[in-house]
């Protein structure tokens, strides 16, 4: 069957089971959008307000559903506007396919109108990328892109298609997608045996869970593993929900804003089992002092992560669910009652706490948790509110906290919430934002209204860039350089101007009723929560310090 390149694009998306794409049209990609129009009953297109919003929405869709997210953009600035979203997905191992179109093949390299070398630009932030100059290669390239995006350690792939290729014809033969194994790496039995031996010799094991466990859908295998090892469990920001935050063995997050129980426990353990985590600097603090009393056993699908940031004792390379299943089949039941009790004492002695009076970030997160019964999908921007959302909402399921962990992208959460709600329409989706972040991509509120996507936007508004101000307060002698947002922007009026419902909350009672109203509204709602500009995220580890040097407000006194 002879089809144009643009028709081949749409047919290949249908082959891959794509039901939703996020994007913004332009001249170079017009042929693809024309073909998409003819298939609008099969593939829903969400027109965002900005291409960056499209990339974040595709990312949020992928994280929430486990499917490959897809975004579309035209050439030049359309393509470059995707870059931050592609980099965000790359850093957090999110399966994404970005399709851009470029000027015609004969115009490439001539500084043509809206021409850009997008494959050159995105080479460092994609698993792979392509420019397709022959229509006969197009279908196979798209199929390869989806396979690469979702296999092994997932990540984004970009396909750039010159406009004339979208108009030329080629033979198209429908192909059923081959669902590749999650990993082609053969798990070595000797590595499994060594891991089992290390665990059985340990007297004070601690389990550290990262985002790879979520990606692998290994939460059931992880629970069995934790039961067998009989160890306390901590997680990274990206690992939230892989192990239930409600479980008595859970000690809270690890690292710069981790709990004292987690930071002290990891510093004192004799075996740290690291599952799908990459030893981010925000987790380890001073790497020379990280878990210095422990042997380290790392389990990861990517061999490049072994010994990259922290020297390990042993590692097992492979898909996490498969590795844990193999270990579980060989591991004898362990018992570490005394060690577990010591960590429980730390939890009781050093609980997370915040000021009891007034409207605060932690109170807002706890109230959201209470009113949603812990069953919502939470997306966040980046900053203090992100840390509060990680600390005070108890995630009991994977894929329920969507946040930019690696790149730290302000403006990520609102677009991601749109993608998550489209992918999981039966779930309540809430984006937790700071006022600085909301300013980055607030235009996507209009997208939520346009497409009737009933997300709830909670802006924790302290009229400053809160996390940067916290550092300025603690480490820069209160020199608040360019972090005070002392203007007259009214977020409620902004939301209403874009067609959403806006509510202002200045007290706990006002927030409680506002959020209750938002849950019932079934329309896009923004709640502007006014909090003090000097509320801080506690506990904290100072830069360059060991995680065992964690301190809080009481220690400051």
Sheet holding 501-505, edge to edge: 401-402, 377-380, 429-434, 456-461, 525-530, 501-505
Active site residue 467: yes
Catalytic residue among 11, 52, 91, 163: 163
Tokens of 532: 């003090």
Active site residue 113: yes
Q: With beta carbons less than 8 A apart as the criterion, state whether 16 and 415 touch.
A: no
Which residues, listed in sequence order, are joined to residue 551 by a DSSP beta bridge? 540
Active site residue 536: no
Catalytic residue among 91, 253, 467, 498: 467
Q: CB within 8 A of 500, min separation 6: which ones?
A: 445, 448, 449, 457, 523, 524, 525, 526
Q: How many angstroms separate the CA atoms of 298 and 286, rounded?
A: 19
Residue 358 neighbours by CB distance under 10 Å: 13
CA 315 to chain centre: 25
Which is it for the CA torsion 183, 188, 189, 194, positive or negative? negative
Q: Is 200 helix (H, G, I), strand (E, B) or coil?
A: helix
Q: Is 157 helix (H, G, I), strand (E, B) or coil?
A: strand
Catalytic residue among 14, 15, 67, 114: 114
Catalytic residue among 7, 11, 51, 305: 51
Active site residue 163: yes
Nearest to residue 468, comparing CAs of 417, 408, 526, 524?
408
DSSP state for residue 289 in the 8-state scheme: G
Active site residue 298: no
Catalytic residue among 1, 42, 113, 171: 113
Which is it for the CA torsion 466, 472, 477, 482, positive or negative? negative
Active site residues: 51, 113-114, 163, 467
């Amino acid at each position: 069957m002879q089809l144009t390149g643009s028709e081949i694009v749409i047919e290949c998306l249908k082959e891959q089971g794509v039901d939703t794409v996020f994007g913004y049209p332009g001249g170079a990609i017009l042929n693809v959008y024309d073909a998409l129009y003819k298939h609008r009953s099969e593939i829903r297109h969400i027109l965002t307000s900005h291409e960056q919003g499209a990339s974040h929405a595709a990312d949020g869709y992928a994280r929430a559903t486990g499917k490959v997210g897809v975004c579309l953009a035209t050439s030049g600035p359309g393509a470059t506007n995707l870059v931050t979203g592609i980099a965000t997905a790359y850093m957090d191992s999110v399966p994404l396919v970005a399709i851009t179109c470029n000027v015609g093949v004969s115009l490439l390299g001539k500084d043509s109108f809206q021409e850009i070398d997008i494959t050159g630009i995105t080479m460092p932030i994609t698993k792979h990328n392509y420019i397709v100059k022959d229509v006969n290669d197009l279908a196979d390239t798209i199929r390869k892109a989806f396979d690469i995006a979702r296999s092994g350690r997932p990540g984004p792939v970009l396909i750039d298609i010159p406009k004339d290729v979208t108009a030329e014809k080629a033979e198209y033969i429908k192909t059923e997608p081959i669902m590749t194994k999650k990993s082609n790496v053969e798990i070595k039995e000797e590595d499994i045996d060594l891991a089992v031996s290390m665990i059985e010799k340990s007297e004070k094991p601690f389990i550290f869970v990262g985002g790879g466990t979520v990606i692998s859908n290994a939460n059931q295998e992880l629970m069995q593993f934790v039961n067998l090892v009989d160890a306390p469990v901590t997680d990274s920001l990206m690992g939230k929900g892989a192990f239930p935050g409600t479980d008595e063995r859970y000690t809270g997050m690890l690292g710069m804003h981790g709990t004292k129980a987690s930071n002290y426990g990891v510093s004192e353990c004799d075996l740290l089992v690291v599952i799908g985590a990459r030893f981010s600097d925000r987790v380890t603090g001073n790497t020379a002092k990280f878990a210095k009393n422990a042997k380290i056993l790392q389990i990861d699908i990517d061999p490049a992560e072994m010994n990259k940031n922290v020297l390990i004792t042993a590692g097992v390379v492979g898909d996490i669910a498969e590795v844990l299943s193999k270990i579980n089949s060989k591991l004898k039941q362990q018992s570490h009652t005394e060690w577990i009790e010591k960590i429980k004492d730390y939890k009781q002695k050093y609980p997370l706490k915040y000021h009891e009076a007034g409207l605060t970030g932690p109170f807002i997160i706890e109230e959201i948790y209470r009113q949603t019964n812990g069953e919502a999908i939470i997306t966040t921007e980046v900053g203090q509110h992100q840390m509060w959302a990680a600390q005070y909402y108890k995630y009991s399921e994977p894929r329920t906290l969507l946040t930019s962990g690696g790149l730290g992208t302000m403006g990520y959460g609102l677009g991601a919430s749109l993608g998550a709600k489209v992918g999981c329409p039966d779930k309540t989706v809430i984006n937790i934002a700071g006022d600085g972040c909301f300013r980055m991509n607030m235009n996507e509120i209009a997208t939520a209204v346009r497409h009737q996507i009933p997300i709830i936007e909670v802006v924790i508004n302290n009229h400053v860039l809160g996390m940067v101000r916290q550092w300025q307060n603690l480490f820069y002698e209160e020199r608040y350089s360019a972090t005070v947002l002392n203007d007259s922007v009214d977020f409620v009026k902004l939301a209403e101007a874009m067609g959403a419902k806006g509510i202002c909350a200045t007290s706990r009672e006002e927030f409680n009723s506002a959020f209750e109203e938002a849950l019932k509204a079934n329309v896009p709602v923004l709640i502007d929560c006014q909090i003090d500009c000097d509320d801080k995220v506690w506990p904290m580890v100072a830069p360059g310090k060991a995680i065992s040097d964690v301190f809080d407000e009481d220690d400051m006194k």
